[in-house]
Structure 1
Amino acid sequence: MVVMLLETRTGVSAENAPPHLSGFDLKPTVWDPHNPITGAYFVLDTHPASHLQSSLLVTNTGTVRGTVVLYPVDAFTAPTGGTAYRDRKDARKEVGTWIKLSQEKITLGPGQSANIPFEISIPAHVRAGDHVGGIVAEDLALRPVVPSNMPVHIRELRAVAVQLNLPGPAIEKLEATGIQPDGGTTYQRIQIGLRNTGNKMVKANGTLRILDDKGQIVQKQEVRYGTFLPQTAILTRLNIRHKALPIGHYKALLNLHYGHKQILDYTTAFTIKPKKTFTGAVESLVKLGDSEDLLTLFAPWQLALGGAIGLLLAGGVGYWLVKSCMRLARQLPRRQ
């Protein structure tokens, strides 16, 4: 089994690789001393229909000779914010398609570095604002997992961000796409859906409050989101704290502050239902007046068969009632 381990380039220097292993660090070859973050990743101001030339510095921080393959990728927003990168096999649709590397594979000795020039071609028709992709270095050497008797190896990937800023009106806009229970785990969780429909990267923080059907606050949690990329969506899962929410109807109120004094207020209702068992379905019917869960326990053919049997029984009871009434009607004249 091979596990991919992706490390994102930040402002912190890369740690040395473990003994007898290669390890690679990526950073811009040239950076602006007046903007320290440009020493960690690429931040480039550009415009539509333009071509940029830049260079990537690749360094083997390990103790043995190693080889990496280099490739550009698109970026997306991680579930709790922050920049994440698409897999090598994923289709590229934006920045990943704009970057063309001069070299896609390189072998370096311990402590050796190399500059890899690359070109960025911006399309003529592209939205204003922030666009983010990345360049990934995938180490071809497999790293064993400790303890070494485990049949698992790790392939290390290191990524450096490429941020492109295009001119035009700045739009900061977060939208909530829903809040609902997450029934996929043992622990009770709430899913929060968010989408950045603007063209600027933003960070957000605020609170989620959950009220029961009597208007009492039963949960209140602080929420924080790291960098939220434009035109991306996320689904965050929050564990319900202290005590699980009982079966019932609830209201969720989400308040977020983001960007430059922007506020998102979102309110929606959701229902906590019992597990999909016969007992749970009956409980849902009694407490919530919801028969849907009870019906979903049966396959369509079972429902059809049950309906047919019900019709037969109803028909039989109806026939018996008609016969009984007719018999009673014949007996009445005789008694008179």
Structure 2
Amino acid sequence: MTLPMRRWLLVLAPALLTLLLGGGAARADTPTAQTFGIQPASATEPDSRGTFSYSVTPGALVKDHVAVWNYGDQPLTLRLYPADAFNTDSGGYDVLPEGKPSTQAGSWVRTAADSLTLPARSRQIVPFTLAVPATASPGDHAAGIVVSLRRESKDAKGNAVTVDQRVGARVQIRVSGALHAELKVLDARAVYHPSLNPLDSGRTTVSYSVRNTGNVRLGGRQAVRVSNLLGSIATGAAPADLQELLPGNTVSYHFDVSGSYPVLWSTAGITVDPLAVGADKDPQLSSTVAKQGFASIPWALLVVLLPFALIGYALRQRRHNRLTGIPALPAPVVAGALLAAALLLGQLPLAPHASAAEAGTLASPADTGTLAFDYETGHDDDAIDVLTSGLCPAAGDYLAVRITGAGFPAEGAPLTGTVAAAAYRRAANGGYVLPLANTLRVVANRSGAGPLHGAYTVTASCRAKVAPTSLRDFTGVLNFGTPTSWQAVTVAPPGVIQEAAADPQTGTAPTAGQTGAAPAGAAPGVRRTAAVRTASSGTPVGSWLVMGAGVLLLGWIGVPYARRRLAGRGAGEDVK
């Protein structure tokens, strides 16, 4: 920092998500409703490419162009620079900030200008060159060309604040040579957390990292299951698919799995199936599997049964010293202990265990809101912002947007990654402003949907970070009259999306986590349960075994006691 009181705040424009997740034309809205953007172009005009993608040989020199737009009503001075790309710990796609030197693919790109002054409502085509080093390694290399707007202001305390807003276009480079596609699971850990309820199965916290140890970018489908010595299997809600993991990068996961009854020792198994990204032609893809054993001891149940075991031990000791009569322990105490044990063991068949019927959440019409688009008509290559009618049920929820309709898979195709709801701007209506990370054309091409036609539903789903179960949905519909043009059924009120600007006091937008009020439109009493599946829907084998052991314990304690009791009564009758 150049001044003691100076704070540098980096505010990522909504359309930066387009850069991070591979969209086409990127556009940013500034706090004063000035907009700017960037997209691939020819020497004369912008083109239809979603990203810059090249297949080259070492030492190749590529010349291309990028279009920079000023959509606003005022002149703008913008910075233009290339930067290395990388994955964040959570799997997001990011680029180095300006001022941090690039050492990989970002250093291969040179733009003809690093600063542009654009009149209102204008664009400029900027040439750039991609010089691939002769020593470049085979495989994928990623970078971005970023345009940024930096503004100076002061907060309420008089501190200098710099707001740096960025959008960009991705640069994907594949250098020819031997390709190797591989994902590895590293640092797998599993820890069992017993429930205070001795009849509950508790939960297992599983954490691990997935690293791309090959030289091509990869997606991935994941599965995690926990099994015990008795063969009972619990499968946690599947982690979200890896969208794109760059070579040498790592993404980490941490979540809970319920449903496996503790029987002293269990095993967590993690499977990751590599997937090609987009139209990439990768070498043979092989799954990776990691297993981690861990202790799963039912401490609560053992604590409950321990007094019964002590009572049995005491009675057995007395048996050696006295042939008849009542034990030294008062009869009511022993009778109460036996009754408590009987009640406890009688409930074991009803012990909670996960099943397909228990998975999911309670759905109701109140869980669904509306999704409005920022303009009434548009094209399949437009950058789109959508507005939710309310908030997610909890401030810590995540949001993911997908599209369903003709040509897309039944589950839909993603329009964004899974992003913390608190990261999005809040609008005047109390909802979120969600910039779609990909243009509809890019999504259709990647999904093999072909020309778009008819009605398509766009759904923003509130969910936990790693559980796909929806906690609340917001839906909107686009009608495609032609393969390239659409009309929105629901349109956001004029200015609402644009006015969802950064707080002038802090330079950041208010989030759901910063408000004390309950989320607007949240359904009261919504039960949120992580989806869990088990191998069987009946009583767990472990429960029956524990119950059987309890019955034997009761017999061991109760039968000798009853015999001594009867013997004592008989002796008393003889005396009479």
| Partners of 1:52 and 1:98 in 2: CA distance | 10
Query: What is the letter of the counterpart of residue 252 of structure 2?
Result: L
| Partners of 2:189 and 2:88 in 1: CA distance | 19
1:1-336 superposed matches below 5 A: 2-6=9-13, 7=16, 8-9=18-19, 10-11=22-23, 13-14=25-26, 17=29, 20-30=32-42, 39-141=49-151, 154-180=163-189, 190-211=206-227, 216-218=232-234, 220-223=236-239, 224-237=241-254, 239-240=255-256, 251-259=267-275, 261-269=285-293
Query: What is the letter of the counterpart of residue 159 of structure 1?
Result: G
Contact 1:134 1:160 in 2 (8 A): yes
Q: CA deviation at 1:63?
A: 2.7
Q: Percent identity?
A: 21
| Partners of 2:62 and 2:24 in 1: CA distance | 26
Change (3 A) 1:65 1:212: farther
Q: CA deviation at 1:249?
A: 6.4
TM (norm. structure 2) is 0.40
| Partners of 2:31 and 2:150 in 1: CA distance | 17
Task: State the secondary structure of the residue aligned to 1:5.
Answer: coil
Change (3 A) 1:240 1:131: same
| Partners of 2:249 and 2:218 in 1: CA distance | 12
Q: CA deviation at 1:234?
A: 2.2
Q: CA deviation at 1:240?
A: 1.9
Change (3 A) 1:154 1:243: farther
Q: CA deviation at 1:153?
A: 7.2
Contact 1:80 1:225 in 2 (8 A): no
Task: State the secondary structure of the residue aligned to 1:59.
Answer: strand
Query: What is the letter of the counterpart of residue 267 of structure 2?
Result: K
Q: CA deviation at 1:24?
A: 1.8
| Partners of 1:16 and 1:5 in 2: CA distance | 9
Change (3 A) 1:96 1:240: same
Unaligned runs of 5+ in 2: 1-6, 192-203, 276-283, 297-576
Give a deviation string over 1:180-202, Cα, whole Å, max 9, x none.
369xxxxx964321111111111
Q: CA deviation at 1:179?
A: 1.9
Q: Mean Cα displacement is larger for which, 20-29 or 3-12? A: 3-12
Count of matched residue pairs:
261
Task: State the secondary structure of the residue aligned to 2:269.
Answer: strand
Q: CA deviation at 1:231?
A: 2.1
Structure with the higher fraction of residues in strand conformation: 1
Task: State the secondary structure of the residue aligned to 1:97.
Answer: helix
For residue 288 of structure 1, what is the aligned residue in structure 2? none
Contact 1:68 1:138 in 2 (8 A): yes
